[in-house]
Each structure stands twice: as structure tokens, then as C-alpha cells.
Amino acid sequence: MGQGLSCGASYEHALFTAVQHGDIEFVNDLLEKDSSLLHQTTVYDRHSALHISAANGQIEILEILLNRSVNPDAVNRYKQTPLMLAAMHGKIYCVKRLLEAGANILMFDSLNGRTCLHYAAYYGHADCVQAILSAAQSSPIAVSWGYARFVNIRDGRGATPLHLAARQRRPECVHILLDSGALVCASTGGYGCPGSTPLHLAARGGSIDCIRELLAWGADRLHRDVSGRIPYAVALKHKHGACAALLNPASAEPLVWPSPLKFISELNQEAKALLENALMEANKEREKNILKGTAYSLPSPSHSDVGADDNISEASDTELCCICFEQVCTIEVQDCGHQMCAQCTLALCCHNKPNPTTACLTPPVCPFCRSTIAHLVVVKIENQEDADRDIGDISSPKLRKARKSRNFSEGSSSFKGLSTSFSKMGGRGSGRIAAENEWIDKR
């Protein structure tokens, strides 16, 4: 009997070692000899072969185990599932395969009461965060529980995935979570200082990129935690000077992703990326002005102002935005075909503040034809010969040139308001951000 137990323990050890190192043939041989090994676990942590393959990214062995009807939701000593370990270690292919196998995304561990989404956000694996959120939109469990509720799911200490991502300096995860409906001003329970928002935790971690993302989504710089501290005070306490300068309530207000854009029924993803980039670049200009003359400085933007000016000089005058006459048209209103630059599109959507007496926002309208904007797309670049030949096209250079002169001579109040908003946002020509942005929607 002693020899038999020793042999069994040896087989188990051999299996776990083979799984960890990806020895597929040896794993198959062991399972053929003794299929009961599928249900064996390590002595202390109680890791199954599926846990080990998921944590080490051994996708082929994981596939073999799942094909042998291994439970994808097996738990170890700490109630962690293979999906949690795959998300923790950023093994995206294992995460996707486990999700396909029906792994439960709503299981909580016994350490901190966290789900697989908490793990992916905490360790900064943006691709895993995205995969889990995509699965949550179609998972029967998440659907019954509610997608918005899942995105803002709290662990045992009252922290949402956004709190964890902000505290751990994970700007990509912060962006994905905010874009998926994470509450930017949610307060924690026992995690960090009670009552902390993601902005408090980002200030504590000292991540300018996370702070920038949170501010762009409307995070409140004046929100106080249970101790009465605003994020500015938290940044000062932890000696993050540059973060404190941006969070100082006396500094210029940041530009916020405009609420009217959230009410456009179809916002093309490429167009959205352009608009977000324009907003973030404008905020970087604001940050430069805030940090100017201090001991802190921000990294240079990916596109220098010199390069931008060169692009403008090379562009034909008829390709410039008819509102600001500085930027190249990149955004098109699909229904009417009128075009603007990304900066002026932002100014258009931020220009009119929402009416607090109404329950819904009035959607923005095209400044050229006054039709409601329902669908924004990226301008398609056509061959110049085709563009010149297509005289009937509303976006052709000839018509754009005529429209530009007509709009300029009319002196429409809409264009005056947009020009004012654009100058505050800091175009290439202005090179500055106004201290006060009355048009911004802070909601």
C-alpha cells in the first residue's frame, strides 16, 4: 500500500510539472494511464491541472483538459478559478478559451471577494479586461445580473475594477472601463481610505495618465473622502507634485468628454477615437500651461507642433475646416455629408449646455444645414481626380471652397460661438487653453 500511494503521488507531481512546462505528449500519456489525475490537486494551494495550465498560458494543454470535460469553474484553496488566474497573469488566449467553455465570470474568490474582472484590471491586462467585458454582454449570468452592474461590481472591500486600475496605474484599463460604463465618481468602502473615488486612488498612485483619463470623463476634483480630503490633498501627501498641480482646484478646468456625444445613436469607433484624441491633446496643452515654470514637465506629445504646421502648409486651402480655417477636416456628418475637424466637432457638442429642466439632452445639430447629428464617421480620403470630377458631391473641394466663403461672409452666430469655443480649446493657431471653459459639460 505504501508503494501504491508513493506511485500515485509521483504521477500527480509528474502531471503538474508537465502541464507547467507544456509537455503535451507526456500529459496525454499520463491521462491515458490514469484519468483520475484530472481531479487531483496540489497539496497546499489545491491547484488543479486546469489552474496550472491557465496560469502558465499553456493553451494546448488547457484545450486537452477542457475536451475531457474538466470543470472550467474548479476552485483552489482561495476559491480562485482558472479564469481568475489566467486574467491575473494576462494569458489572453486562455481567458478567451475559458470564456468560450462557459466559465462563470461572476465567481468571487475568498481572499478579497474579487472576480476575474477585478484581477484583469488590478494587474493591468487591458486585453483581458476587454475580453471579459465582451463576454459579459452575452453571458446569461451577466445579462440576468445586469451589464452595468457587472462593470461596477465591488469586491469585498468595496472597490470596483476602476478603483483598482486607477490605484495600480493602469491607464489603458481605466479607459476601457470608463468607456464601458464604469462610474467615475464611485466611492470605496474599506479599500484605501473609505470614501475614495478613482481620482483619489490615482492621485495616491501618482499616475498622470490615469488622472488625465478620469478628468476627461468628468471626475470631480472637489469630491472628499471620509477623512475630508480632496484628490489634490492626497497627491500632496504622497509627494506627487505634477499630479497635485493638475488636481489643484485653482488650476484651469479640464476638458470633459461631452455628454451630447453620448446621445448620438451611432458614433463610428474611428470617429470616436479621433474626437477622444483631440480632447486629450487639448488637455495636454492645458497641462503644459499649468506645469509651466514649475519643476515638473510632461512628456512631449507624439506629434510635435512643427509637424502639425507642416501638414497644414502642405494641405490644400480647400481641405481646411470651414469653421476654424486651421485644421484639416476629419469628421463627417453622414446624413448630410458636411465635414469639420475633430476640434470643432467637440466644440459643437459642448457649445450648448444641457437644459436642467428637461430629462434628456437636445442632440447637437449640423452648423451648416441645422439637421440633427445622428451619425459621425471619419472622412474618407478620395483620389483628387475623383473628388474634382464629382462636382455634385457636397464634400468636393470646389463646393467646400464655395461653402467656406459663403459661411465666412454670412457671419452666422453658430460659427461665432464655435470659433469662441474652439479658441478656448486651444487649436494649433492659439496654442493655449483658457482658464475657464464655460461651454464644457461637467455632468
pLDDT of residue 272: 75
pLDDT winner (highest mean) among 41-50, 300-309, 391-400: 41-50
Average pLDDT of 191-203? 95
Query: What count of other Cβ atoms lies within 10 Å of the Cβ of residue 226?
Result: 11
Kindly give the interhelix angle for 82-89 and 126-136, rounded to the nearest 10 degrees.
Answer: 140
pTM for this one? 0.72
- Mean pLDDT is lowest, of 35-39, 50-54, 118-122, for 35-39
pLDDT of residue 443: 37
3-state helix, strand, coil in the chain (%, to 5): 50, 5, 45
Q: What percent of the chain has pLDDT over 70?
A: 71
- The C-alpha cell at 105 is 465570470
User: Is-contact 116 87, C-beta < 8 A?
Assistant: yes
CA nearest 75: which of 44, 53, 50, 95? 50
Separation between Cα atoms, residue 359 and residue 375, nearest integer Å: 22
- Mean pLDDT is lowest, of 30-44, 171-185, 214-228, 359-373, for 359-373
pLDDT of residue 281: 79
CA nearest 128: which of 99, 157, 164, 159? 99
**Exposed / middle / buried, residue 147 (Cβ in 10 Å: 0-12, 13-18, 19+):** middle
**Topology of domain 314-443, CATH:** Herpes Virus-1 (3.30.40)
- The C-alpha cell at 75 is 476552485
Average pLDDT of 304-329? 57
Split at pLDDT 50, 70, 90, the class of 381 is: low
Average pLDDT of 390-410? 42
Separation between Cα atoms, residue 333 and residue 89, nearest integer Å: 43
- The C-alpha cell at 389 is 470630377
pLDDT of residue 392: 41
Average pLDDT of 142-168? 92
According to DSSP, residue 324 is labeled T
* Cell 476559491 sits on residue: 79
pLDDT at position 423 over 80: no
pLDDT at position 170 over 90: yes
Instruction: Give the gyration radius of the chain's Cα atoms.
Output: 27
Taking the CA atoms of residue 27, residue 29, residue 32 and residue 36 in that order, the dihedral angle to the nearest 10 degrees is: -40
Average pLDDT of 127-151? 89
CA nearest 201: which of 231, 236, 241? 231
Q: Pairing relation of β-strands 331-333 and 266-267? A: unpaired
User: 41 in helix, strand or coil?
Assistant: strand
Beta bridge partner(s), residue 266? 375
User: Is-contact 203 234, C-beta < 8 A?
Assistant: yes
Kindly give the interhelix angle for 198-205 and 208-216, rounded to the nearest 10 degrees.
Answer: 160
Domain map (residue ranges) of the chain: 314-443
* Cell 501618482 sits on residue: 206
Strand order in the sheet with 375-378: 266-267, 375-378, 331-333, 339-340
* Between 246 and 128, residue with greater pLDDT: 128
State the average pLDDT for the chain.
Answer: 77
What backbone torsions phi and psi does residue 226 show, to the nearest 5 degrees? -65, -30
Split at pLDDT 50, 70, 90, the class of 230 is: very high
Taking the CA atoms of residue 65, residue 69, residue 72 and residue 74 in that order, the dihedral angle to the nearest 10 degrees is: -90
Render pLDDT for 67-108 as a digit per residue (tens, 0 to 9): 998 999 999 999 999 999 999 999 999 999 999 999 999 999
**Residue 311: which H helix or E strand, with range?**
helix 305-314
Phi-psi region for residue 296, left (φ > 0), alpha (ψ -120 to 50) or beta?
A: beta
CA nearest 401: which of 343, 321, 308? 321
pLDDT at position 400 over 90: no
- The C-alpha cell at 440 is 464644457
pLDDT of residue 233: 96
The amino acid occupying position 417 is: G
pLDDT of residue 73: 96
